[in-house]
Chain A
């Protein structure tokens, strides 16, 4: 059974803190993604990676960075958290080649920045 796990389900941080959101997949997928989901805005792509140490900006990368040191792990970093980064963060993965479009999602991390 495919599995994408995220380090925390709920997280509360203060403005200005550095925040790490971790995602691990056990499917040996090459592609990994970070989205945020907000009411009225839907899911928006922040960053993605199609290989170790590779990263590409999505639609809303400002204020975020990512790290992919190992194939199975993809981290989202908020360098200096702000209140407008309060959101649900979803990690996903997919395999390379045919079927890259079938993305498997983790349960999400609900981040609140005070």
Chain B
């Protein structure tokens, strides 16, 4: 079993829809959870960062962590064509947190249709 599982998509939804992106993980040692957005031919950029189980909201984006189920989600409300990108979940991998690097999901390719 891979440490982090993420459906690569593509996921295609109409503009204005609520988007749900998910990752599951197997390593209980993962502590910090992040979502990165990556546009074509660009480096990933950090969207959301969470530590504890529960929800964290930032504008149209909500990150959700359920450590008991080893499941994280990213919700996008009122989706826009500019949200079309690849979304990567990432988790800290070592005793020194992110200083030991991150473990990434493979990314979900999201397409918002105008």
B97 touches A100 (CB 8 A): yes
Q: Is B43 a contact partner of A106 (Cβ separation < 8 A)?
A: yes
Known: A33-B101, A94-B99. A4 touches B107 (CB 8 A): no
What chain A residues lie within 8 Å of B99 (beta carbons)?
A: 30-31, 48, 50, 94, 96, 100
A-B interface pairs (CB < 8 A), number: 72
For the residues of B in contact with A, the DSSP-based class is: strand
Distance in Å: Cβ of B70 to nearest Cβ of chain A: 18
User: What is the distance, in angstroms, from B58's C-beta to the closest C-beta of chain A?
Assistant: 14
Could you say which of A13-21, A39-47, A63-71, A74-82 contacts chain B? A39-47
Q: Is B96 at the interface (CB under 8 A from chain A)?
A: yes
What is the minimal beta-carbon distance from A5 to any residue of chain B, in angstroms?
A: 10
Q: Residue A103 contacts which of B41, B98, B106 (CB distance < 8 angstroms)?
A: B98
**Interchain CB contact (< 8 A) of A107 among B32, B36, B43, B49:** B43
Q: How far is the CB of B13 from chain A (nearest CB, A)?
A: 22
Q: Report whether A101 and B102 are in contact in the complex, using a CB–CB cutoff of 8 Å.
A: yes
CB <8 Å contact, A43 and B32: no
Assess whether A102 is interfacial by the CB under 8 Å rule: yes
27 contacts between A and B (CB under 8 A): A4-B43, A30-B99, A35-B104, A42-B6, A42-B88, A42-B104, A42-B106, A43-B44, A43-B104, A44-B104, A45-B93, A45-B101, A45-B103, A58-B101, A94-B98, A99-B98, A100-B92, A100-B96, A100-B97, A101-B32, A101-B97, A101-B98, A102-B34, A103-B102, A105-B44, A107-B42, A110-B41
Q: List B residues at the A interface (Cβ < 8 Å).
A: 6, 8, 32, 34, 36, 41-46, 49, 88, 92-93, 96-107
